[in-house]
């Protein structure tokens, strides 16, 4: 019995230490594309076209909330924030930057997504460290209607 407990603990430690591959296949296209398009904005050399491409995934009445930053944006104010940061040179991530989806939980037209900053590798996006963030997406007719960051 004691040996079985040690074996299970060892499996758990090894399993937790192993980097899971990007879990994009487990989420709807709009959510996976959201991260791809957001990553493109964050990289050096992004353009207003990248912002437009991101917003193509969203409903006209999309809402973005981030409680920790006291953000509550409608489509227009959120778009303006992206444009302002971009025009001020605020997006400077390297070409290898990506957001790794590390876990997801489906709900009723919503998805809770755990994600992490990462680096592009031959196997996909691999998290850089143990940092994890949580966001909940609400979808309507295949488009993103609400995003709530919970980190």
Mean pLDDT of 86-96: 97
Write down the domain spans for the chain: 19-149
- Give the pLDDT confidence of 116-141 residue by residue, as tens digits: 999 999 988 999 989 999 999 999 99
**Token duo for residue 102:** 């590390």
Predicted confidence (pLDDT) at residue 6 exceeds the cutoff of 60: no
**pLDDT for the residue 8:** 30
Task: Give the pLDDT of residue 22.
Answer: 67
pLDDT band at 16 (very low <50, low <70, confident <90, very high): very low
Q: Who's near 141: CB < 8 A, 6+ residues apart? A: 59
Contact 111, 105 (CB under 8 A): yes
pTM: 0.83
Phi, psi dihedral angles at 40 (to 5 degrees): -60, -35
Range with the poorest average pLDDT among 20-24, 52-56, 76-80, 87-91: 20-24
User: What tokens were used for 57?
Assistant: 């995934």
pLDDT of residue 21: 53
Provide φ and ψ at 126, rounded to 5°.
-115, 130
Q: Which CATH architecture does the domain made up of 19-149 adopt?
A: Roll (3.10)
Flag whether pLDDT at 144 surpasses 60. Answer: yes
Tokens of 44: 């050096």
Give the pLDDT mean for 48-70.
Answer: 97
Choice between 71 and 15, residue whose per-residue pLDDT is larger: 71
Average the pLDDT over 15-37 and give the result: 75
pLDDT class of 1 with cuts at 50, 70, 90: very low
Residue 57's CB is within 10 A of a number of other CB atoms, namely 19
Residues comprising the chain, all counted: 151
- Where are the alpha helices (H) located in the chain, listed in sequence order? 2-17, 29-42, 48-55, 75-87
Mean predicted confidence (pLDDT) in 52-73 = 97
Sign of the alpha-carbon torsion through 101, 106, 110, 112: negative
């Amino acid at each position: 019995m004691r040996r079985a407990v040690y074996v299970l603990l060892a499996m758990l430690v090894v399993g937790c230490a192993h980097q899971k591959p990007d879990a994009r296949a487990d989420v709807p296209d709009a959510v996976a594309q959201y991260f791809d398009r957001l990553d493109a904005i964050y990289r050096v050399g992004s353009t207003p076209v990248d912002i437009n491409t991101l917003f193509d995934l969203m409903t006209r009445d999309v809402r973005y909330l981030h409680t920790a930053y006291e953000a509550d944006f409608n489509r227009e104010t959120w778009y303006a924030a992206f444009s302002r940061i971009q025009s001020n040179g605020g997006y400077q991530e390297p070409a290898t930057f990506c957001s790794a989806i590390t876990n997801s939980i489906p709900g009723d037209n919503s998805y809770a997504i755990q994600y992490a900053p990462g680096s592009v590798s031959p196997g996909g996006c691999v998290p850089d460290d143990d940092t994890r963030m949580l966001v909940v997406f609400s979808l309507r007719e295949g488009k993103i209607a609400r995003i709530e960051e919970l980190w």
